[in-house]
Structure 1
């Protein structure tokens, strides 16, 4: 089964971590007996975004009494408050054949695993280090075309680029991208629309997923599975009426500084020639779409674990 697949009816073990100690945001990790992994970012007590894919590993083994799991989560995968000695931690086992949930902390019907205010305490992590905090993802692609017949010739095309992720601090991350290529991005799940409303397709490009939860609003309004209100939808960047607009470069800064949460995004698109159909649909003056600089920002302040005030600009 693919990563982040639906494990609703599976025998699973889940872990949540509150690495900021704010009882609000954190990380979610899950594995089933077959070793399928699911991970995500928790933004509220009832919402988790599975679009985030962290670097971690897990192994499972069958035993005479059932099965066991061993999970390794490197500290460099996590953003956290430096020097914080206690993290929030909760563990949950779901046994589907008995419809039984076993939870380490807050094993009550009125609480959820994602509710980090009900999590237990993981002590002794104040000395955890993030390492160098540098991740480089380069790429190179090339293709050739051979024309046969009179005046036959061969043409070559290629491109290089990549992304650089740097954790300035354990709480603050910046991402640079150049000559971005999204060919390896997971394809959208096929959907059939029987309504008059347009279909919703979530963002899946890794550059835009980093820190995407910073743009979420409270009350479940921005939940990825059933969004009611999305103040900033990055899926529109690099697209024009279905036509691809290449992104030459981009930079992101997201994370926390004290009780302040911030997300800043700036991308530069390339001048592109679109099809006549796009020109007709949008009423464009010409088929040439000029390069454009696009910016979005989000800032919020945590007054306490239940109150956050912010804005998008």
Structure 2
């Protein structure tokens, strides 16, 4: 009996303790956070009053993830054919000014025989007025092509904001330490660190400013072209052919004059080198034609030596036989020839 009483008492005590712990935990969870005056402030539940979409407080203490907080850069390109590009340019400028925009660049080209008149404008309009700008530009002429693109740079903007906040806090802490610097070395080190971080902070602020301008004002490139085809360059009658021929003759003459002007500086040194070469050739030919003088020892061509006389034979020659008698003939002899014995 005593054991049953003790067991029931223990069970009741355990149940009582469990109920107290459950009541304390529920009160601590629903009781909120104690304030300075001892009262508890009930936290705002997600989706209830005092919150915005995504469970973020509406007082702006935390950045919202709604579509209105997205950072988007919008760019576009529009090509339009018009009758008069200059007049269409003026109309486009008036449209942009009515939308509180601006013109960053403006280029116009007059028409000629080789190209048509054209104009190109870089338009900056507020991001919420892009549709109005495109609709107004369509009325300038015939639209050939339209291209609009959007780039989300929300993460880049938040990263820049975080870096700027961290660097600004660091610079502020360093500025507070300047007054408590004990030595000159510490002061110089602090000033160097402040200058370095201030330069980084200014660079980040410049990037943020440029990015904000790209987000706030969309960029649209407008290309205006004149309608119609280029005039034909082929002459259509005798007079146009004559004019074309005369123009080509003048162009050829001017080109020849330009060629002569280019060659004159080269012709002068080439002429000097040619004159020197001709002078050398003339000197070589003159030296080859000059006769060689005779030597002092005698004539240039020596006379042949006389043949040696033969020794007389030891035996007497046989007597000559008498010549046969012939009729006397008239002797033909030269004055220098000796008289023959048979004619005496």
Please tell me the TM-score bracket, short chain as reference: under 0.3
Greater strand proportion: 1
Greater helix proportion: 2
- RCO higher in structure (CA 8 A, sep ≥6): 2
Given the two structures, how large is their TM-score scaled by the length of structure 1? 0.18
Larger Rg: 2
